[in-house]
Amino acid sequence: MKIVILSVHIIIAVGLITLILLQNGKGGLGGAFGGGEFYRSKRGAERVVFVATIVFSTAFFITSVLNLLIH
């Protein structure tokens, strides 16, 4: 069971890294200090990548906890 969870964890980690690298890099801390552009909503593929990143990060957290609890 531990090997299965670890394998899924690694697959999710690679997917999460890929999704983070696919995101637009213009939403950093510059917006907090006046360097950002006006607010716009996410549409199309950008929204799909954003939601998938949230799903993968949640799955990563869950598999991390499961990996910790299962011996």
Could you give the CA distance from residue 3 to residue 16 in angstroms, rounded to a whole number? 20
Average pLDDT of the residues in 55-65: 97
Q: What angle do CA 32, 37, 40 make, to 5 degrees?
A: 105
Greater model confidence, 45 or 7: 7
DSSP of 7-47, one letter per residue? HHHHHHHHHHHHHHHHS-TT-SGGGGGT-S-------THHH
- pTM of this prediction exceeds 0.85: no
Could you give the CA distance from residue 11 to residue 27 in angstroms, rounded to a whole number? 26
Q: List Cβ neighbours of 24 (8 Å cut-off, separation of 6 or more).
A: 46
pLDDT in tens, 15-51: 999 999 998 776 555 455 555 555 667 678 888 999 9
